[in-house]
Amino acid sequence: MIEWFPEINWMRSILTLLISTILLLYWYTRIPSSMPRNIPTVPIYISLLGLWSDMGQDTIYDRWLRQPLETHGAVKIWFAGRWNVLATRPRFLVDMFRHEDVYAKAGSQKKIPWSVIAALALERPNQRLEELQTIIKKTLFKPLFFNFPDLDRYPFLFRQRKAAFTIMQEFGDLLCTTVLQRTTHQKGTNQNPDGDQVVDYLDRALKENRITEEQYRANLKVTFLTAHENAQQLLNSTFWVLGTNQSIQQKLRAEILATGTENPTTDLVNSLPYLFAVILELLRLYPPVSQLINRVTTSQSVLGGEITIPNHTWVGWNAFGAHTDPNIWGNDCREFIPERWGSDVKSIQGAVRSKTTQCHFIAFNAHSRKCLGQGFAVLQVKILLFEMEEWEDLSEVQCMVFLN
């Protein structure tokens, strides 16, 4: 009988397949019932927008995240293949950052200094390394794999991911070789045997068996990639803001010209308040690390005494949100006003300290996870801006040319 109606059978199979796919997707993306109920949920499609739209993260934040986050201080959000708690309210952030025992940094628990800009201090910048870095940046953040990292378990199904793994391998190998050559070279000339750069700490940790080969390699990769990536982002926003805001550029140039020197020392660039304030304002409005969900609860916890989060839940923060919340920064929070940081270096330093401690300003994270490269990164940009003063007025077009 059945052969008489083959199409019915065929349709039945299709329908079964369709229903099981939907059920599977539903099961995979459902919100665990244990997740906190007193905070809103960002619909899953917002997290997946990157799959079909090239909308910027700031636009997405303004349209869908700002309102719930400014009202509730935290939301449930889909990211990296699971539901997470994302917070912007300073009180929640302080709790999260202070209680590292409960909101543990996920992944390697070892306190290995990382994320220090250029601390690798490669002697000859390796061109292939730079090429690989660019390729990796493009591949790592492919929205499909970023949102469903489980797919990366099946590289044989996704040929481009197989290529990505190969690239990662080459990058790791090259980085290790470059760094190892540097170490031997330094030993040979007996320079700085107890070096205090991140790579020296890593070398010692490896030698003393405090970390494994694999951890050593992972830390090298992460340090190199984040340091480059974040510095590039900061540079980009610097050119953007100076190019579009002539009055800031002029005020900055006036301050730098008034020093009457062309060879800045560290002390000299550190003595310029407006320069410092401009960089802080850049970091506030354009935080290079704008969102990070990299902590996981080690037991049931109540964030800020309000939000009950189950054990083993991922939590994180959004710096752009915290930095542009009018409840924290006032109604002019979206405007670029360096003066808000203070008018002399001492008061600006005080403002940075207190705003960081209160988690109003988390461009460099805060508390025990504060970025070790903070001072170096800021100094680097200070010197860059100082040198730029020798150039003619930068128009928007020129800035765009520099960026390319």
Ligand X SMILES: *[C@@H]1O[C@H](CO)[C@@H](O)[C@H](O)[C@H]1NC(C)=O
Instruction: Mark the binding-site residues, compressed into ranges.
Output: 371
Indicate whether 104 belongs to the interface with ligand X (CB under 6 A): no
Interface with ligand X, residue 48, by CB under 6 A:
no
Q: How far is the CB of 7 from ligand X (least distance, A)?
A: 49
Enumerate the known binding-site residues for heme.
371
134 is an interface residue for ligand X by CB under 6 A = no
For residue 211, the 8-state DSSP code is: S
Task: Map the footprint of ligand X across residues 331-350, applying CB under 6 A.
Answer: 335-337
Residue 103 tokens read as 């909101």
Question: Could you tell me which residues come within 8 angstroms of residue 121 by beta carbon, excluding any fewer than 6 positions away?
Answer: 182, 197, 199
**What gap in Å lies between CA 369 and CA 123, rounded to an integer?**
28
Closest distance to ligand X from the beta carbon of 247 (Å): 5
CA angle 139-137-204, nearest 5°? 115
* Residue 71 binds ligand X (CB under 6 A): no
Q: Which is nearer to ligand X, 268 or 337 (CB)?
A: 337
Q: How far apart are CA 292 and CA 96, in angstroms?
A: 13
Longest dimension (CA), the chain: 97
Nearer to ligand X, 337 or 394 (CB): 337
> Which of 266, 299, 343, 347 is close enough to bind ligand X by CB under 6 A?
299
Q: Binding to ligand X by residue 109, rule CB under 6 A? A: no
Q: Is 294 in the site for ligand X (CB under 6 A)?
A: no
Q: Strands (DSSP E) along 92-162, which ranges?
A: 103-105
Nearest distance in Å: CB 248, ligand X: 5
Q: Note whether 57 binds ligand X by CB under 6 A.
A: no
Cβ 165 to ligand X shortest distance, Å: 25
CB of 133 to ligand X, least distance (A): 14
| Sole residue written with tokens 């949102």 | 147
The answer to whether the CB of 312 falls within 8 A of the CB of 384 is: no
Residue 278 near residue 272, CB atoms below 8 Å:
no
Binding of residue 402 to ligand X (CB under 6 A)? no
Rounded to a whole number of angstroms, the minimum distance from the CB of residue 284 to ligand X is 12
CB of 35 to ligand X, least distance (A): 15
DSSP string of 13-49, one letter each residue: HHHHHHHHHHHHHHHHHPPPTTS-SSS-B--HHHHHG
Count CB-CB contacts under 10 A for residue 136. 19
Amino acid letter, residue 133 = Q
The dihedral through the CA atoms of 299, 31, 38, 100 has a sign that is positive
Write the DSSP symbol of residue 60.
Answer: H
Q: Within 302-321, which residues bind ligand X (CB under 6 A)?
A: 311-312
d(CA 76, CA 260): 53
Binding of ligand X by 292 (CB under 6 A) = no
Could you say which residues in the range 233-252 bind ligand X, by CB under 6 A? 236-237, 240, 244-245, 247-248
Binding part of the chain for ligand X, among 151-159, 265-273, 329-337, 359-367 by CB under 6 A, reads 329-337
State the residues that interact with ligand X by CB under 6 A: 236-237, 240, 244-245, 247-248, 298-299, 311-312, 335-337
